[in-house]
Structure 1
């Protein structure tokens, strides 16, 4: 028995994955919940002046990188302790001079119809920027083991749109048949078989099912 869309036959039936269902996993769900939060990012580049760079730090699987990462994450968590949306930092790369850190701050943002996420991001970005700039010191003491940093480059990163978030969730081959719908409860990705869709495929008394070729009336 041939199962479609990544499904596997367990000896009795097709075991479907993701958004798919049906005897052969040939149909896609009409409504996919994307959630009521979104991860937004702030991009930062800074120089750590009181630490020495080791060439092995260029390899993110090395012990030197991992030790630095652990210390860096701990200090960033402390710096952003009053930023309620702060979630984590991801180091993109470490390079020489003393140590140049290229990293992203991950912010968990509320995402629904009643929130202007871009306005919220702008407000949080300002707080993050102020926190970093206030800590950037030229005459820094590393007595407590903390990092001394300067030469900050802080950049905004556009928050993903509702459409972009849905396109990340929906499997290839089906993206053209879904639209994003923002509700008071969060974001949903709805197929053209859903009556709420702006491209609703009306089957009248028939049953609309989404296949790889698009909506079909059965």
Structure 2
């Protein structure tokens, strides 16, 4: 917020553009020169007649008429009607209402039909009412609080500031200024003016997170923590289950390998028989199946048999006495 507008003048002026066409007279070359006597004589006559038109109790804001330019046809006078009033927060409305009175007065004056053309040529000014124009949109002010706020704000922030009456003082404010009509309600957060404009900064309390354009939404921390804890517990159970399944699979694989190794070892034990291929598919296809063929393919393996005698005759025949 900028400080109160201490530079506000006590009196503000407003100017509205008016065009009137003077008949029975023609513009001359020296009348285009504002320092010439011809220009001075015409302007004094025109201003004098306009003062009579505008002054009155119904238009107390009237101050003066200023001629801007004289144009061809017969003489077209581009002039500004200056109004004056003390500053009030509603000064623009006051001046617009006064402009309506200006319009009514000049239209009535120029619509009067002159009957004495001699007077129109040498003593008074007569007008063509059909040409008279009052440009209400041209109303300008000697002091513009909005422009003042724009010019005195920080760089790149001017378009966020505007004048508003706070406690009887005209102040430059923005939508984050407390007590203004257009204040942004960020409760429970606060409003902060950024380069992108007024924005709400939402708080983070012990129990909730606040979010949204005006911090209107909130989320319970307890709920979020509970959901996160539940998800983590489910993930832990899933990991343990996968670990158990993988462990069981490894055990079955190890047991199968162990059983196959034992079978291979038993084939090499002393005094056992080894197959020589009778049961192979090719042998079955080529030869007739029979016991003789079957027995002929089983041969004793005596490679590891201990052939040393283990018993003596004395063990079976006791000595003779």
**What's the TM-score once normalised by structure 2's chain length?**
0.42
Q: How many residues align?
A: 167
Q: Deviations over 1:133-179 (max 9, x none)?
A: 111123343379221112201111244442235678x7xx9x96x97
Q: How does 1:1-218 map to 2 (within 5 A)?
A: 32-82=6-56, 83-113=59-89, 115-118=90-93, 120-136=94-110, 137-141=112-116, 142=119, 145-150=123-128, 151-156=131-136, 157-160=138-141, 161-164=144-147, 180=163, 182=165
Q: Give 1 or 2: higher strand fraction.
A: 1
Separation (CA, whole Å) in 2 of partners of 1:183 and 1:163: 15
Higher fraction of helix: 2
The answer for unaligned runs of 5 or more in structure 1 is 1-28, 191-195, 197-218
Q: CA RMSD in A?
A: 3.9
Q: 1: distance between equivalents of 2:26 and 2:43?
A: 14
Tell me which of the two structures has the higher relative contact order, counting C-alpha pairs closer than 8 angstroms and 6 or more residues apart. Answer: 1
What TM-score do you get using the length of structure 1 for normalisation? 0.59
| Helix, strand or coil at the partner of 1:33 | coil
Q: Secondary structure at the match of 2:106?
A: helix
SS of match in other structure, 2:133: strand
4+ runs deviating over 4 angstroms? 165-168, 178-190
Q: Name structure 2 gaps, 5 residues minimum.
A: 174-178, 180-321
The superposition leaves residues 18-68 of structure 1 with CA deviations (integer Å, 9 ceiling, x where unpaired) of xxxxxxxxxxx9964221332111211111113331112222222221221
2:25/2:74 contact within 8 Å kept:
yes
Tell me: CA distance 1:43–1:183, structure 2 relative to 1, closer, same or farther (3 Å): farther
Partners of 1:74 and 1:135 in 2: how far apart? Answer: 13
Of the two, which has the highest radius of gyration? 2
